[in-house]
Every structure is written in C-alpha cells, then in structure tokens.
A and B are shown apart, each in its own frame.
Chain A
Amino acid sequence: EAGVAQSPRYKIIEKRQSVAFWCNPISGHATLYWYQQILGQGPKLLIQFQNNGVVDDSQLPKDRFSAERLKGVDSTLKIQPAKLEDSAVYLCASSLVGSIEAFFGQGTRLTVV
C-alpha cells in the first residue's frame, strides 16, 4: 500500500516569496491533516479536512496561509508571503474516517532566507 506522498521534499525561498506544498493521501482516507513542525518542537496542527470540507483551521495563520482539498483527495498548502519564522517541516497525514490512527508523509522542509 502506498503511503502519504508529499512534494517537494525540500524548498528554499526568500522572505516575501510564495510557496506551495502538495500532498496525496493514502487511497480511501477521507481525513487529511497539515502539521507544521518547527525545529526542536513537536508538530502543530494547521488544518484538518474531512473529504473536501474543513474540520479545523483554528491554528492556520489565515493572513498568509491557505489550503485546499479539491475533490476530497489531493491537498495543497500555500504560504504567501513567507516569513523567516515559517521555516519548518510541513507534514501531511491522512486517516480513515472513524480511525484514531494517522499516517504521515515524509514532510517538506521549508527554509525561508
């Protein structure tokens, strides 16, 4: 079974530029999460989708971050404009509805210079 796919693996951008990350969840997983993991910290939820609807985006900095999950499968997370403090690993995870277990992708490491 294929796991959660994320791309790119690494990205370096200058501050004030924009960037987008892509996630393809495990087939059949209706729930999709985006987490931000800053160096030295645990992952923090940015947004949670169920199918193509948003379940929780209370910790998403909406002035610069946006996410969508068209057709309830793939998802993109965008940052515009990026700030230095956005440097982090962005993890995507997915799970079956009603399951307590989530499966994580390898993440995208973003460096903002």
Chain B
Amino acid sequence: AQSVTQLGSHVSVSEGALVLLRCNYSSSVPPYLFWYVQYPNQGLQLLLKYTSAATLVKGINGFEAEFKKSETSFHLTKPSAHMSDAAEYFCAVSGNTGNQFYFGTGTSLTVIP
C-alpha cells in the first residue's frame, strides 16, 4: 500500500526566501514520487517526478526535490520564492506504472511581498 503525508497545510514565505514543502511517503514497493501544483480553478500540473534514477530531481519553475530513502521523504524546495509560486502543492506516490496515484492533502503556499 502507498500513502503520502504532507506536513503543514499552509506555508507562508517572503518573496525571495527559500521554499520548503515537506512530504513523507509510505510504500511497500519502490515508489514513484511526484509533486503537482494546482492554481485556483485549474487542474494539476506536474512539477517533477522521481523514477529511481537520480535522487535529486529538478523540475519546472526552479523547483527541485530530493528522494531520501532513509527518511522516506521527498521534500520540495525552491531557493527563491516568487509571487507566482502561490498555489496549492500536492505530493503523490505511485507503486508501479499504470497504477493509481495516492495524493497527500496538499500544502497551500502563500508568498508575501
């Protein structure tokens, strides 16, 4: 079985500050891990994915995430927040190709000018 836990339903950062969104996963098989972003009244857009290649994954819009098996974590970071980063972020896990995604409850990111 797979699941993810996102710590912190709301995160606020100042513009230009580091963004850190936390995600811990549980999986009985080697996982595929994802971060999606959702802007208001929009669908989910893939930011990045981990597929058992490099543990540090770079995505779009300057985001990256590091897979740490020992910590069962896949935290999302961005060195410098931009106002346009304000959105809802979801971490998700999948156990295999063609399998369903299990999503976390989401973290709402607010960027303060």
Name A's B-contacting residues (CB within 8 A): 4, 31, 33, 40-45, 48, 50, 55-56, 91, 93, 95, 97-107, 109
Contacts and interface: CB of A to CB of B under 8 A. Distances in A.
Interface in B66-111: 90, 92, 94, 97-98, 100-101, 103-106
Interface residues of B, number: 22
A42 B103 contact: yes
Contacts of B100: 33, 45, 48, 56
State the majority secondary structure of interface residues on B: loop
B41 interface: yes
Given A97-B98, A101-B49, A43 B44 contact: yes
A44 B98 contact: no
A62 B43 CA distance: 25
A79 B46 CA distance: 28
A55 B98 CA distance: 9
Given A100-B94, A100-B97, A42 B104 contact: yes
B90 A42 contact: yes
